[in-house]
């Protein structure tokens, strides 16, 4: 069982799901009937990437609460790793989103509710990394970062629900209380891509936590050698 959730295994599982999802999106899911046509297929990767970015920020939020309760630096490391990965996925969201926006709306960027709130999320978590870089003492840095991560997370659910509370925006509501609005072949393609992206996030978290642990060990060794 441990082998199935190791970082290499998770990377392999994620790769299989992402490839299968891509093939299904292009070969199995129908071409969109709207004016977007074939270009709509970027949705099958853009939406899972966006959801995964928000999940990463959500894990950082939970890790921040856990750190403030326990003062255990392992939670601080998890929060840092998740914020970095969340920003990486956010960059991919922006790139794929602008491509999709150009095809759907005729513009690379529009100041509509979801795009605006998502951009604010990115700025907040960039500020989180800046905050960490200017505080040297480890425990104090972890405390400040945890508090900031909790505050920054307020904008994450606002981003997710922006298209539901402000329907005048350009973004469509893909999944709502009434269902997904997607036919079977599209839903299958989307869910497999979503699973693959989630597995990729978990694999990257495990890998980066291992790297952070090694950095801590090297730092401790240097301190010991230095007397």
Per-residue pLDDT reduced to its tens digit, 142-174? 999 999 999 999 888 887 665 555 555 555 555
Q: What is the pLDDT of residue 184?
A: 67
Contact 84, 103 (CB under 8 A): no
pLDDT tens digit string along 81-101?
999 999 999 999 888 888 877
* Residue 70: exposure state from Cβ atoms within 10 A (0-12, 13-18, ≥19): exposed
Q: What is the distance between the terminal CA atoms of the chain, rounded to a whole angstrom?
A: 42
Higher pLDDT, 220 or 61: 61
Q: Which residue has the tokens 């794929």?
A: 96
Q: What is the pLDDT of residue 94?
A: 87
Residue 125's pLDDT band, with cuts at 50, 70 and 90, is very high
Q: What is the pLDDT of residue 181?
A: 55
Q: What is the CA radius of gyration of the chain?
A: 20
DSSP category for residue 84: H
Q: What is the pLDDT of residue 177?
A: 45
Rounded percentage of the chain residues whose pLDDT exceeds 90: 41
77 pLDDT above the threshold of 50: yes
Mean pLDDT of 26-41: 63
Residue 196, SS3 per DSSP: helix
pTM of the model: 0.84
Q: Which residue has the tokens 């999106």?
A: 25
Sequence spans of domains, the chain: 45-166+183-225
Element (H, E) at 120: helix 113-134
| Alpha carbon separation from 34 to 96, 98, 160, 187, 190 (Å, rounded) | 19, 18, 24, 17, 18
- Could you tell me which of 41, 73, 44, 52 has the C-alpha nearest to residue 139? 73
Range with top average pLDDT, 31-45, 101-115, 134-148, 184-198: 134-148
Contact 100, 108 (CB under 8 A): no
Q: What is the pLDDT of residue 198?
A: 94
Residue 179's pLDDT band, with cuts at 50, 70 and 90, is very low
State both tokens at 122.
């990115």
201 pLDDT above the threshold of 90: yes
State both tokens at 92.
């991919």
């Amino acid at each position: 069982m441990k082998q199935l959730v190791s970082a290499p295994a998770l990377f392999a599982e994620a790769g299989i799901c992402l490839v299968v999802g891509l093939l299904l999106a292009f070969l199995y899911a129908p071409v969109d009937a709207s004016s977007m046509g074939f270009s709509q297929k970027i949705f099958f990767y853009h939406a899972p990437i966006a959801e995964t970015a928000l999940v990463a920020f959500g894990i950082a939020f939970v890790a921040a609460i856990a750190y403030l309760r326990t003062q255990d630096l392992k939670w601080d490391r998890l929060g840092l790793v998740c914020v970095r990965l969340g920003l990486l996925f956010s960059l991919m969201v922006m790139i794929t989103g602008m491509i999709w926006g150009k095809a759907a709306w005729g513009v690379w960027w529009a100041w509509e509710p979801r795009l605006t709130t998502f951009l604010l999320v990115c700025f907040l978590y960039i500020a989180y990394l800046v905050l960490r870089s200017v505080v040297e003492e480890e425990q104090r840095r972890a405390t400040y970062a945890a508090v900031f991560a909790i505050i920054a997370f307020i904008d994450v659910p606002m981003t997710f629900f922006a298209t539901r509370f402000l329907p005048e925006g350009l973004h469509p509501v893909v999944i709502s209380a009434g269902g997904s609005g997607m036919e079977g072949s599209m839903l299958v393609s989307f869910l497999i891509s979503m699973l693959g992206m989630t597995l990729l996030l978990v694999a990257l978290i495990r890998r980066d936590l291992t790297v952070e642990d090694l950095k801590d060990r090297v730092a401790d060794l240097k301190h010991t050698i230095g007397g």
